[in-house]
Chain A
Amino acid sequence: MNELLSFWLDSLPLLLDGLAVSLKVTGAALAIGFPLGLFLALGVQSKGRLVNLISLCVVEIGRGAPALVVLQFAYFGLPQGGLTLSSFASAVFALAWNTGAYTSEIIRAGLESVPFGEIEASSAMGMMRADTLRFVIIPQGLRVAAPALLGFAAAMLQATSLCFTIALPELTSNAYVIGTNTFRYIEILSLAGILYAVICAPATIAVEVLERRLGKHTR
């Protein structure tokens, strides 16, 4: 037991470095992906033909193709088109696309949950369409979408583990490297798992509590 603890203690700094990279990728992907999701949600509902078509393609490809394939597309594929991204940039590109596509559906459901009467009331009060969106629909819609978005953020941290395949030194890669050097896979992978769980488990539980609270009023 003592021996295990000292092994964990020795490898912890490298794992924490990896966790920092994972968190950075998650943060960047969410910072780009959430606003992208909002625009895509509005784009899919838009009456403009072209905007509508482009948004739909971005959403359907982002949701339909595995994140791993999009990631490798960005890292191994884009250079063929003359655009070479670092592994960090590829990771952010792919995961932000993934985030935008998935959260656009979450946000769209949130926006659609705003009662139609509110929109009628806004137009009765002479509010412009943009103002209705900005002050009435989006604030209420995002509130409904909040628990699912939080859940997605936790899922995104887990998705950063896929960056193992593009040689980004994040948590899973670092754990794997220590594993290959020491052949103590179970021990080191468990420690990495604990680090993920320490962040994701409270988020999972918070989502459940939030959803139950919101659900009280709808049921």
Chain B
Amino acid sequence: MTADMILGVATGIPWTLAVTAAAFVLGAVLGLPLCAMRQSKFMLLRAIVLVYIVVFRSVPPLLWVFVFFFGLGSGYLPISAFEGVVLGLGLITAANMAEIYRGALSAIRIGQWEASEALALPSYSTYIDIIAPQLLRVSLPSSASYAVGLLKDSAIASTIGVNDISFSANYIAKLTYQGLTVFAIAGLLYIMISLPIAALARAADQKLRARVAQ
């Protein structure tokens, strides 16, 4: 009985992972240009990024997902539930990742910039070969804990009908009238998924930390 419930709730795992991974990749990639724009010499660019960050961080994720799924989806741009939730969560992630990159950027020693200049490296090479690799290493712990947070936020996908862990938990709870057990299982599944992510990030951080100039 309980085994059936666990298996039933577990059918949502692939979708939960897919939503989390897709939104994280979208955000991690989009966050880079946003972070670069925030450092720009042009005030207009900086202002645009600032507004983007504030707007995406001060409106609830659920509302953004509704805007994309129901708002865009009803007439403007046909969009699936999965695409809607990835777009909503991904754009919020981009705003937060831009801030994480910015924090990491300020943690990179100024000597790295000075040395690149002293070696007369072109600015392209300074960014790609010197700064970017260290930036990714420094930002890894924060990115990983953000990813774990995103995993939990991905539960809102269930509200628009993506067949994730929360969705299957809801379905089975209504089928069996055993909400207490079913939602406890769902909660434990999320915790169990987040544990290896955190462990992996910690291991990677220890390996990579040695390769950031002090």
**Which residues of B does A touch, CB under 8 Å?**
54-55, 57-64, 66-67, 70-72, 74, 76, 151-156, 158-159, 165-166, 169-170, 173-174, 177-184, 186-188, 190-191, 194
| Residues of chain B within 8 A of A61, CB atoms compared | 187, 191
**Given contacts A65-B187, A66-B152, A77-B184, are A72 and B179 in contact (CB under 8 A)?**
yes
Chain A residues whose CB sits within 8 angstroms of the CB of B170 once the complex forms: 72, 76
Q: CA of A67 to CA of B154 in the docked complex: distance in angstroms?
A: 11
Known: A185-B66, A196-B60. A73 touches B184 (CB 8 A): yes
Main secondary structure of the interface of A (DSSP, over half): helix
| Count of chain A residues with a beta carbon within 8 Å of a chain B beta carbon | 44
- Contact check, A200 vs B190: say whether CB atoms are below 8 A apart: no
Contact present for B156 and A185 (CB under 8 Å): no
Q: B16: nearest residue on chain A (CB-CB)? A: A66
Contact call A73/B179, Cβ cutoff below 8 A: yes
0/1 interface trace, chain A 58-72, chain B, CB 8 Å (1 if under): 001100111111101
The 9 tightest CB contacts between A and B, nearest first, are A65-B187, A200-B58, A77-B179, A64-B191, A73-B183, A161-B60, A66-B152, A158-B60, A76-B179
A80-B181, A176-B66 are contacts. A64–B54 as well, Cβ < 8 Å? no
Residue in A77, A196, A200 whose beta carbon sits within 8 Å of that of B183 in the complex: A77
Which stretch in A110-118, A139-147, A186-194 binds the other chain?
Answer: A186-194
CB distance from A176 to the nearest CB of B (A): 7
A162-B187 contact given A69-B169, A80-B179, CB 8 Å threshold: no
Known A68-B158, A80-B178, A201-B54; judge A162-B191 contact (CB<8 A). no
Seen from chain A, the residues whose Cβ lies within 8 Å of a Cβ on chain B are 60-61, 64-70, 72-73, 76-81, 154, 158-162, 164-165, 172, 175-176, 179, 183, 185-186, 189-190, 192-193, 196-197, 199-201, 203-205
